[in-house]
Structure 1
Amino acid sequence: MVFDKETQSRIDSWTSAEYDKDTVAEVQRLIDSGAETELVDSFYKNLEFGTGGLRGIMGVGSNRMNKYTIGKATQGLANYLKKEFLGQQIKVAVSYDSRNNSQVFGHLVADVFSANGIHVFLFDELRPTPVLSYAVRYYGCQGGVMLTASHNPKEYNGYKAYWNDGGQLVAPHDKNVIAEVDAIHSVSDIKFERRSENITLVGSEFDDLYIGANTQLSIHPEAVKENQGLKIVYSSIHGTGVTIVPKMLSAWGFNNVHIVEEQAKPDGNFPTVVYPNPEEEEAMSIAMRKGEELDADVVMATDPDADRVGVAVKNPQGTFQLLNGNQIGSLLVYYVLSSKKDKAELKENDYSVKTIVTTNLIREISDSFGVKCYETLTGFKFIGEVMTRLVGKENYLVGGEESYGFLIGDLVRDKDAVNSCAFIAEMTAYFKGKGKSLFDVLIDLYIAYGFYQEKLISLTKKGKAGAEEIKQMMVDLRENAPESLGGIAVKEIRDYERLEAYDVLTGTRSRIDLPKSDVLQFVTVDGDVISARPSGTEPKIKFYCSVKEVLPDRTSFSAVSEALENKVLRIMADIVKG
């Protein structure tokens, strides 16, 4: 087997005496068995922070999640925190989800921080990502870490790093932490020895603080009281949500919540699903069947770290249908803004936020209520960054992204499925009091603002070869930009890597005022928006398509929906190659 110089150097170092015997033995086994592809994928690079932090397959190697890569990342973060907050007593919060090894990794992270003289607030049991974000803010921490790989398959784990605002690391801190991590050249530079006096365990009593703060955000408590028997089905898909979502719904006033027992036990093997992702119909299928059996008003499910939520409601035919992330986000934005207006609580400095690949219906709704709508790069950390930047100047109300992440109110700086579940339930109760289902309200929005239909296609390209293929796909799109998509002429090309928007019709160029990101967008003469973006947390390239048409009345819904679906398929067939 012949490897490039850097890969070989990493392999050699991992067979040295610096590493424990089990690690060395596993690397040697891969070498002896001639596992060339696995060795390349495990050692060709170091794990890097993406839109969701450090994430990868568990196993030995510099590009895998293990004791040493997590220890190195934590030591680098500790070193950076000590430089940035020189002379201060540094505090961090640490939590973990239900994934295999998450608890072990969580305690490992706490050990390294404590060994560096940093005080750690460590959750004594698994808790969701939003609770960790709240803890960072509540305890006045300078940082935090959540051990989770979100909705990825069971072989993955991850490491979300947080700053003192409770949001995930953004520039310049993300790159600066990587520089500190890269400066660690020896395992001996990592302090693994736990100092118990620097660790405070956080118990379930913290749930009451988080839940109590959230209940104060309720907009229509009277609607909840009138419909407290609202029939809710909830699944945690073997994740952390079961620890707190039922308690949140109960505290909110809902007393008819049905837990999907088959998926209630936290389990990193996720035995009842292929992927623990509420975006997938397969992952929601058990909950939806229970919803049908019980004739529920709403079905909800959260991912393993409970920062994303999937929703199913009855359609006009009376069967449960999944809402996509754009639809859920649009409903939440409309509910919050319309309710605030009805109560005369909207202020001039209120705002909402969405990402560049999230439906423009959110912007249209916000505009109609005179509420400014900010747009950010993909990844909720950028929404959190806007929130932190505008503290004391403007008032955040609601925001979200198409990937099923939403946040109402500013208690945390990350997407929050626990908070969202409560608001989705309240929204369902409120509109039920008006004689409408959420699907009815969605159609109302389409009639008022236009029928938006979106589709996401993800292509998985694993390993080093896959990463190179994804890179080449983006190069090809830049060098050979399509003149039309689905038979519709492209009028504008937005390149977020070059921070330039090019008007094809006039030949003029304008600057995009956002940080650089490897994203391309094509806007057609019909106003369709098609985006291409390599994932920051998964070995995937993602293609997003959003189209719009007038919906004249409710009876036209099925016909317009079918026409839009056919248009999306034509467009996607043109842009998705491979």
Structure 2
Amino acid sequence: MSTIDLATQARVDRWLTEEYDSETVAAVQQLIDTNQDTELVDSFYKALEFGTGGLRGIMGVGSNRVNKYTLGQATQGLANYLKKQFPDQALKVAVSYDSRNNSQKLGHLVADVFSANDIEVFLFEELRPTPMLSFAVRHFGCQSGVMLTASHNPKEYNGYKAYWSDGGQLVAPHDKNVIEEVNAIQSVRDIKFDRKPENIHLVKEDFDEIYIQANKALSINPDIVAAQKDLKIVFSPIHGTGITLVPKILTAWGFENVHIVAEQAEPNGDFPTVVYPNPEEEEAMSIAMKQGKALDADIVMATDPDADRVGLAVKNHAGEIQLLNGNQIGSLLTYYVLSARKEKGELHGNDYVVKTIVTTNLISDIASSFSVKTEETLTGFKFIGEVMTKLDGQERYLVGGEESYGFLVGDLVRDKDAINSCAFIAEMAAYFKSRGKSLFDVLTELYTTYGCYQEKLISLTKKGKAGAEEIKQMMADLRANLPTSLGGIEVKEVRDYQASVATSPADGSTAAIDLPKSDVLQFITADGDVISARPSGTEPKIKFYCSVKTPLEDTKAYDQIAVKLEEKVTRIMADIVKN
């Protein structure tokens, strides 16, 4: 007996009509003939929606899959919306794509639809990183842009990041309004697929130099880089777009001792050497770290497929190559930018940094010590970009980041930028090496100054419609049974970002949260620990974050303190995940 509900079945039936090409119809029929009800439901139970990273999903047939029809509809909806928002302007968009399977083909499809709608398209001739797309939107004066990528997701995924005229990803109200335009398309026949070649301009390799030189102008200490040009760097693009720009920008910066991980240098959408092409995962960094150890490298860096995230490993006190997490990388970058700017007398009263609500408070501690304001946003770099646009011309953005390995120094783009970050991480390493310190030395010194932080993330994967419902129920259960203690420590404050209210369990007092509504619960303990729960906006996961802190009197005691903090984090996480 079929387990497919009527609404889902109606979508399936629609995709069996002559509106769709024979290959698509055959693929849907194959799912039916082989009784793949679960796959049919997951493929058709809803339409793809904009999350924190745009449209993202598994490639295949269906309304909830990435294919030429869902992306064609998204593009037609975006084109219709642009015409309403900019009725008296000649419209321009930029389009780029990463190394994923089908990304180039889908990128050309998106360009075709825009061109068919009489919109001028700046289409990258070859795969390029996401931050290049954001840069291009602003450089060419576009009203919008699209990047074909699923970032760090597994190989079966692809996606569609839509950008606005400021170079940032779509935020409210544009994200919801575009979806309304997309949903208003009642037939595939309403999608204009017929390419108008005269409306498409290829962005060629020489554009790289424009981006690189704009970034190079941001360098704070080019003289120190010149003195430390032999800094030993290992870099891996993990089969992604990073290979097109990171070696170029490091060379332009002046670094002459850069070693590329050969096994992962070639762009490949199957990501053959890793399980997940995600520099957050130790497994994805393992080949680069092995090479770093063999070469006694100063730093080891790796970027994800669309090169907007960067992982970093450095030598620890024992001389071993050790991974840093995103909170640590972001804290180091914040400290370097602020301290180097202060040293040169380049800090002003209107400077600010940005972090998200699940990113370490060490960043705000550092900023405060330099009398620099910290802006805090919801999770997702699009919200950081939104703050940058809002404050543009009034205050000066210096650096920002999020725990998920996305960072940006300077305001050339409105998205996280691993190309920019790789250059500044290398400059930062050179700067501190010139002072006889490794990045690990600096990190432990930060802990003695501001307190020793330890963070952990647990992600639970729940795939398909059943998984989405399970995640929704987990959040509902957590709200219905709020923990009064975590890890044996009293919960002093509960922040419900969906209700926009912070509550003190002790006396029931409340305070408003001045951020857009989001499905996030956050718990602050009596020790000042911060524990968060949120469904991912880009993956079929629910994520639990924990950040704890304790004084560190001496860097020599770091290893011992770190073990104690790890034990505390484990106790807390056992409680929150159980709840």
The bucket for the TM-score relative to the shorter chain is: over 0.9
CA distance in 2, matches of 1:424, 1:393: 28
**How do 1:523-562 and structure 2 match up within 5 A?**
523-562=524-563
The Cα shift of 1:85 comes to 0.4
- Residue 82 (structure 2) aligns with: 81
Q: Give the match for residue 346 of structure 1.
A: 347
Q: Superposition pairs for residues 128-527 of structure 1, below 5 Å?
A: 128-527=129-528
Identity of aligned residues (%): 74
Displacement of 1:2: 3.9
Counterpart of 2:35?
Answer: 34
* Deviation of the 1:222 alpha carbon: 1.1
Instruction: Give, in whole Å, the separation in 1 of the partners of 2:559 and 2:249.
Output: 36
Q: Name the aligned partner's letter for residue 389 of structure 1.
A: K
User: 2:408 aligns to what SS in structure 1?
Assistant: strand
How far apart, in 2, do the equivalents of 1:526 and 1:263 lie? Answer: 43
Give the Å deviation of 1:152.
0.3
| Equivalent-residue separation in structure 1 for 2:241 and 2:556 (angstroms) | 41
Distance 1:16 1:546 in 2: 52
1:62 alignment partner, SS class:
coil
Q: How does 1:89-128 map to 2 (within 5 A)?
A: 89-128=90-129
**1:336-379: per-residue Cα shift (whole Å, max 9, x none)?**
00111111100000000000000000000000000000000000
For 1:557 and 1:245, locate their aligned partners in 2 and report how far apart those are by CA, in whole Å.
33
Cα deviations by residue, 1:501-532 (Å, 9 ceiling, x for unpaired): 00112321010000000000000000000000
Code of the aligned partner of 1:465: A
Q: Secondary structure at the match of 2:211?
A: helix
Provide Cα deviations, 1:207-232, integer angstroms capped at 9, x if missing partner.
00000000000001111011001110
Q: What corresponds to 1:67 in structure 2?
A: 68
Partner Cα distance (2:519, 2:359) in 1: 16
- C-alpha distance in 1 between matches for 2:142 and 2:115: 14
- Aligned partner letter, 1:418: I
Deviation at 1:475, TM superposition (A): 0.3
- Number of residues of Structure 1 aligned to a counterpart in Structure 2: 578
Describe the SS at the equivalent of 2:519: coil
- Secondary structure at the aligned position of 2:502 is classed as strand
Q: Partner letter of residue 291 of structure 1?
A: G
Deviation at 1:547, TM superposition (A): 0.1
Distance in 2 separating the partners of 1:73 and 1:400: 29
Cα distance between partner residues in 2 of 1:296 and 1:186: 56
The answer for unaligned runs of 5 or more in structure 2 is none
C-alpha separation between the residues in 2 aligned to 1:562 and 1:78? 54
**For 1:375 and 1:459, how far apart are their aligned partners in 2?**
25
How many angstroms apart in 2 are the aligned matches of 1:506 and 1:353? Answer: 32
Offset from partner CA, 1:52-90 (integer Å, 9 cap, x none): 000000000000000100000000000000100002100
**Cα separation, 1, equivalents of 2:536 and 2:306:** 19
CA distance in 2, matches of 1:504, 1:480: 12
Structure 1 regions of 5+ residues with no counterpart?
A: none
Q: Aligned partners of 1:109 and 1:67: how far apart in 2?
A: 9
Q: Per-residue deviation at 1:177?
A: 0.2
Tell me, in whole angstroms, the C-alpha distance in 1 between the residues paired with 2:525 and 2:339: 31
Which letter maps to 1:516?
K
Once the two structures are TM-superposed, the CA of residue 577 in structure 1 deviates from its matched residue by 2.9
Q: Secondary structure at the match of 2:514?
A: coil
Alpha-carbon offset, residue 190 of structure 1: 0.2
Letter in 1 for 2:265: A
Cα distance in 2 for residues equivalent to 1:486 and 1:195: 61
Aligned equivalents of 1:296, 1:320: Cα separation in 2: 8
Aligned counterparts of 1:555 and 1:409: Cα–Cα separation in 2: 34
Q: What's the RMSD between the two structures over aligned residues?
A: 0.6
User: Which amino acid in structure 2 is aligned with residue 159 of structure 1?
Assistant: Y
Compute the TM-score of the two structures, normalised by the length of structure 1.
1.00
CA distance in 1, matches of 2:195, 2:88: 22
**Which residue type is aligned with residue 377 of structure 2?**
T
Shift of 1:554: 1.3
**Cα offset, 1:3, TM superposition:** 1.9
The runs of at least 4 aligned residues of structure 1 exceeding 6 Å deviation read none
